[in-house]
Amino acid sequence: MGQTDQPHPLYGDAVDVRLHGGILHLSGELGSGRERQGMIAEAQRYLGRGLDDVDAHRLTVKRHDQRRGLFDQTIIAAFPNPAVADHALEFMRQHRRLKPKEAGTVTSGDDPLLESVGEFATDARKALDAGHGILLTRVDETDAFEARELLDEDTRSIWTVVTPPVAANRAR
């Protein structure tokens, strides 16, 4: 399994492994059911040797029937302050598997980036008024779950909102 604070030796950033309260939590997306079963079996070998259980409900198999480029989703994330939002943006840009179509931090309530999120701009403006940092990113719909998880869990945003999908050619 490797170390929980480093990428998996075989699957890298595609899989996240966390140990909490004796339970090994596996999350991410693998290319096949065989890979998923192999990873779960590997983790289960450690049961009774420091692990009480393995939670793999968030370890999924990539659906190969999803077509990229059809829909986009915008994700809005609030952070304790603008510096943390900037750090989260840099972290997201360095993520190997996630390629945002557009991403940036919002610095004021009249930032043009907010116009792209419609009714969700109100919550973003309230967060800015409270001194929080706001990050906006637009991703292919097939990447939205991974992007939300990265912002919500890995960078620990205060809150995260995923807007409904829109046709990719209309997203801008």
- The pLDDT, as a whole number, for residue 130 is 97
Q: Which of 7, 41, 61 is the last residue in one of the domains?
A: 61
For residues 159 and 88, membership in a common domain is answered with yes
DSSP track, 98-154: ---SEEEEE-STT-GGGGGGGGGHHHHHHHHHTT-EEEEEEEEGGGHHHHHHIIIII
Q: Is 8 within the bounds of a domain?
A: no
DSSP track, 27-57: EEEES-HHHHHHHHHHHHTTBTTTBSEEEEE
H or E element at residue 85:
helix 82-94
Strands 102-106 and 53-61: unpaired
For residues 38 and 90, membership in a common domain is answered with no
The model's pTM: 0.63
- Which DSSP symbol is given to 88? H
For residues 80 and 159, membership in a common domain is answered with yes
- The pLDDT, as a whole number, for residue 90 is 92
For residues 153 and 96, membership in a common domain is answered with yes
For residues 83 and 55, membership in a common domain is answered with no
For residues 98 and 140, membership in a common domain is answered with yes
pLDDT in tens, 4-21: 566 777 777 788 888 999
Number of domains comprising the chain: 2
pLDDT in tens, 18-66: 899 999 999 988 877 788 888 899 999 999 998 999 998 888 887 666 6
| Nearest partner of 26 among 38, 36, 16, judged by Cα | 16
User: Which residues form the domain of 92?
Assistant: 71-170
Q: Is 10 within the bounds of a domain?
A: no
For residues 44 and 112, membership in a common domain is answered with no
Q: Is 2 within the bounds of a domain?
A: no
Q: Is 66 within the bounds of a domain?
A: no
- The pLDDT, as a whole number, for residue 143 is 86
Q: Work out the pLDDT band at 171, boundaries 50, 70, 90.
A: low
Query: For residue 31, what are the contacts with CB-CB under 8 A and spacing of at least 6?
Result: 61, 62
- Which DSSP symbol is given to 8? B
pLDDT in tens, 84-136: 999 999 988 887 677 899 999 999 999 988 988 989 999 999 999 999 999 99
